[in-house]
Structure 1
Amino acid sequence: MSTRYADFKLLIVDDHAHNLFTLRTLIANHLDVTVLEACSGQEAINLTHAHPDIDLIILDVQMPDMDGFQTASLLKLRKRTRDIPIIFLTAAFKSEEFQRRGFAVGAADYLLKPIEDDQLINKISTYFRLIEKERELNRTLELKVAERTRELAEARQYLANILSHMGEALLVLEPDGRIKLTNPAARRLLGYSEADLLGMSIGDVFEEDGDEQAGAFMGTWLEALIRTGALSKIEARFIARDERRMPILFSRTAVKDAAGQISDIICIAKDMTGYTRIESD
Structure 2
Amino acid sequence: MMTKPGFTILIVDDHAHNLFTLRTLIERHLQEVRVLEARSGQEAIDLTLSHPDIDLIILDIQMPEMDGFQTARLFKLRKRTRNIPIIFLTAAFKSEEFQRQGFAVGAVDYLLKPIEDTLLINKISGYFRLIEKERTLNRTLELKVAERTRELLEARQYLENIIDHMGEALLVLDPEGRIKLTNPAACRMLGYRESDLIGMSIGDIFEEEGDEQAGAFMGLWLEALIRTGALSKIEARFIASDGRRVPILFSRTAIKDAEGRITDIICIAKDMTGYTRIDGD
Q: TM-score, normalised by structure 2?
A: 0.96
The equivalent residue for 1:25 is 24
The equivalent residue for 1:275 is 275
Write the deviation string for residues 29-67 of structure 1: whole angstroms up to 9, x where unpaired. Answer: 111111111121111111111211110000011111111
The aligned amino acid for 2:116 is: E
- Distance in 2, matches of 1:214 and 1:197, equals 20
The farther-off stretch of 212-221 and 191-200 is: 212-221
The answer to whether the 8 Å contact 2:94/2:112 transfers is no
Write the deviation string for residues 236-281 of structure 1: whole angstroms up to 9, x where unpaired. Answer: 1111111111111110000001221000000000011111111101
The answer to whether the 8 Å contact 1:14/1:40 transfers is yes
Distance 1:24 1:241, change over 3 A: same
Pairing 1:168–2:152 present: no
The aligned amino acid for 1:57 is: I
- Distance in 1, matches of 2:198 and 2:42, equals 60
The aligned amino acid for 1:221 is: W
Pairing 1:228–2:228 present: yes
Alpha-carbon deviation of 1:154? Answer: 0.8
Q: For residues 33-182 of structure 1, what are the structure 2 equivalents within 5 Å?
A: 33-91=33-91, 94-182=94-182
SS in 1 for 2:212: coil
The answer to whether the 8 Å contact 2:86/2:108 transfers is yes
Q: Which sections of structure 1, spanning at least 5 residues, go unmatched?
A: none
The answer to whether the 8 Å contact 1:256/1:264 transfers is yes
The farther-off stretch of 216-225 and 85-94 is: 85-94
The aligned amino acid for 1:127 is: Y
Percent of aligned pairs with the same amino acid: 82
RMSD: 1.3
Count of residue pairs the alignment pairs up:
280
The answer to whether the 8 Å contact 2:62/2:92 transfers is no
The aligned amino acid for 1:28 is: E
Alpha-carbon deviation of 1:214? Answer: 4.4
Q: TM-score, normalised by structure 1?
A: 0.96
SS in 1 for 2:276: coil
The answer to whether the 8 Å contact 2:170/2:269 transfers is yes
The aligned amino acid for 2:261 is: Q
Distance 1:186 1:94, change over 3 A: same
- Distance in 1, matches of 2:177 and 2:215, equals 8
The aligned amino acid for 2:147 is: E
The equivalent residue for 1:237 is 237
The equivalent residue for 1:195 is 195
- Distance in 2, matches of 1:24 and 1:139, equals 30
- Distance in 2, matches of 1:63 and 1:199, equals 67
Q: Which sections of structure 2, spanning at least 5 residues, go unmatched?
A: none
Write the deviation string for residues 162-202 of structure 1: whole angstroms up to 9, x where unpaired. Answer: 01100000000011111111100001001111111111111
The answer to whether the 8 Å contact 1:207/1:238 transfers is yes
The aligned amino acid for 2:83 is: D
The answer to whether the 8 Å contact 1:211/1:217 transfers is no
The answer to whether the 8 Å contact 1:202/1:215 transfers is no
Alpha-carbon deviation of 1:213? Answer: 6.5
The answer to whether the 8 Å contact 1:10/1:36 transfers is yes
The answer to whether the 8 Å contact 2:57/2:84 transfers is yes
The farther-off stretch of 21-30 and 245-254 is: 21-30
- Distance in 2, matches of 1:161 and 1:260, equals 30
- Distance in 2, matches of 1:49 and 1:249, equals 66
Write the deviation string for residues 71-103 of structure 1: whole angstroms up to 9, x where unpaired. Answer: 111111111111111000122762412111111
Q: For residues 243-262 of structure 1, what are the structure 2 equivalents within 5 Å?
A: 243-262=243-262
- Distance in 2, matches of 1:202 and 1:183, equals 15
The equivalent residue for 2:13 is 14
